[in-house]
Amino acid sequence: MRPAEGDNRLRVVPAGQHMTVSTRSNPIPDGLRPFYAVPRGVEAHHVVRFMASRGTRAVVVRRGLRPIGIVTSRDLDDRIPGGGLYETMAKVESAMSSPLITIGEQGTVVDAIATMNQKGISHLPIVRATGSLASLITLEDALRLRGQGVQALDEFIRTSVLVSMVERDPWTRAVHEIRRKIRQNRIWLILAVGLALAGAVLALAIGRSWLGFRTYELKEYEPKDIPRQQYLEQKERSKQPDSNPDTR
């Protein structure tokens, strides 16, 4: 799967509605603020590319419609062992913060600021009464809203739009994974093909020897005309010893 691997299809969910759009032909409407989510089970390096392509520092991890964790750029740097994100098969769950700290949609901006300060976090998911994800507010957003005199989170939620990574179908993911493995192991594949060709040539040479192939001599070919045949017969007789020597 690439953004996930460069996949430009996004699932946009404004005000509880569901639709699928292309960011190229249908950009996010003016006045809506996107926040981002990824499904659980996605490989961490896909999340890195997704976040980089969208210019976001945090994504919410969901199981179905319910948020179960959050991942920030710092989480990915600190929690993926070895730092080799593009070489590892680590899932996003290994980097996400969970259990998730959230605030209800009926909360206030002051509540959001207090929660983030108390927990030492800068991103706070807003959830509906049903448990689904409504929005994601940052400490910067909350401080700005408080400065504008906004108290409730309702207006912030109404202007939020959820952009979720689209999972590819199993066959597409399998083909992409095979192509990725080929790119990663290109040198070994070239060596394997070379060894296979060398083995085929060696097997052919051994086969020729075992099967008794040999080069025919000129005399074993049939003559093209009668004079040639007579010449060959005469040559053969000349090589044979005289069985009736002259006893004079």
pLDDT at 173: 66
Q: What is the pTM of this model?
A: 0.59
CB 36 within 8 A of CB 62: no
Region of residue 236 (left: phi > 0; alpha: psi -120 to 50; beta: else): alpha
The parts of the chain modelled with pLDDT lower than 50 are: 1-25, 87, 247-248
* pLDDT score recorded for residue 210: 63
Contact (Cβ atoms closer than 8 angstroms) between residue 86 and residue 101: no
pLDDT at 8: 38
Query: Terminal CA-to-CA distance of the chain, rounded, Å?
Result: 102
Q: pLDDT tens across 55-81, in order?
A: 999 999 999 889 999 999 888 888 776
